[in-house]
Amino acid sequence: MKIVCLGDSLTYGFGVRRSKIWTKIAQDRLNIEIINEGINGDTSGGMLSRYHESVYMKRPEAVLIMGGVNDFIAGADLGVVKANIMSMAHQSIAKYIDPIIGIPTKIDLKNVRQDWSEFTDFEMVAKELYEYRQWIFKFCKTFNIKYIDFYEEFEKATELKPGDYYTDGLHFNELGNEILAEIFCSAISSFKKK
């Protein structure tokens, strides 16, 4: 099986050695090919614009589509993110690639880097991320699309000390990447059983 993971820095593994990012860990555990097509700072529009090259041309069986946070950081409207995610999901279905929507993790507001906090209102970004998550549930139910709720599963796994898993309030250290890999592997295994 081959899966492309299309996304932003959360997918790329910002600040972590390539051998310790969650997509590499998951590939080794599941013994499948996982192609990491995450780009730091990318938006859902950027992901859509490179969909053909980054996903279709790789001929995967499935694609994990996870993005949107950078759109909110840049001040984009939630409707723009919804339209882009919807477009990528439907393009996948049309090309016989199984889409899986990844729900991005919660922001650790207490530990966001100071210079980033001066750039945007992360309280607002967190609210938009929550609304986006609710929309993903409805969208996936309506169109019978699989999703992985990294948001809730990561929170459950790290409820005691979430700050121990982040490097800067948005990105994860090696321990955080381990948790993301566990969530992904568990979801992929459960999809295979259905």
Residue 146 is part of a domain; what is its CATH number? Answer: 3.40.50.1110
Looking at residue 156, its pLDDT comes to 86
Asked, for residue 161, whether it belongs to a domain, the answer is yes
What separation in angstroms does the CA of 62 have from each of 21, 53, 94, 107, 167? 19, 15, 12, 27, 30
Asked, for residue 74, whether it belongs to a domain, the answer is yes
Asked, for residue 193, whether it belongs to a domain, the answer is no
Helices 174-193, 22-30: inter-axial angle, 10-degree rounding: 40
Q: Say how many residues make up the chain.
A: 194
- Cα(130)–Cα(67) distance, rounded to whole angstroms? 13
Does position 63 have pLDDT exceeding 90, yes or no? yes
| Max intra-chain CA distance, the chain | 46
**Could you tell me the pLDDT band of residue 97, with boundaries at 50, 70 and 90?**
very high
Does position 64 have pLDDT exceeding 80, yes or no? yes
**Could you tell me the pLDDT band of residue 74, with boundaries at 50, 70 and 90?**
very high
**Could you tell me the pLDDT band of residue 67, with boundaries at 50, 70 and 90?**
very high
Looking at residue 160, its pLDDT comes to 63
**Could you tell me the pLDDT band of residue 194, with boundaries at 50, 70 and 90?**
low
Listing DSSP states for 121-163 in one string gives -HHHHHHHHHHHHHHHHHHHHHHT-EEEEHHHHHHHHTSS-GG
Asked, for residue 69, whether it belongs to a domain, the answer is yes
Specify the number of domains making up the chain. Answer: 1
**Could you tell me the pLDDT band of residue 96, with boundaries at 50, 70 and 90?**
very high
Show Cβ contacts of residue 105 under 8 Å, excluding neighbours closer than 6 positions: 10, 150, 151, 154, 155, 172, 180
What does pTM read for this prediction?
A: 0.94
Q: For every residue of 172-191, which 3-state class applies, written as one string?
A: ECHHHHHHHHHHHHHHHHHH
Asked, for residue 194, whether it belongs to a domain, the answer is no
Looking at residue 32, its pLDDT comes to 96
Show Cβ contacts of residue 102 under 8 Å, excluding neighbours closer than 6 positions: 5, 7, 11, 64, 65, 66, 147, 148, 150
Does position 191 have pLDDT exceeding 80, yes or no? yes
Looking at residue 76, its pLDDT comes to 94
Contact 22, 150 (CB under 8 A): no
Looking at residue 120, its pLDDT comes to 84
The mean of the pLDDT values for the chain is: 93
Mean pLDDT within 26-44 = 97
Asked, for residue 50, whether it belongs to a domain, the answer is yes
pLDDT above 70 covers what percent of the chain?
A: 98
- Cα(111)–Cα(113) distance, rounded to whole angstroms? 6
Tell me: the pLDDT tens digits for 142-183? 999 999 999 999 888 887 676 788 888 888 999 999 999 999
Backbone angles phi, psi at 108, to 5 degrees: -85, 85
Asked, for residue 154, whether it belongs to a domain, the answer is yes
Show Cβ contacts of residue 10 under 8 Å, excluding neighbours closer than 6 positions: 38, 66, 69, 104, 105, 170, 171, 172, 180
Asked, for residue 68, whether it belongs to a domain, the answer is yes
Provide the residue range defining the domain that includes 165.
2-187
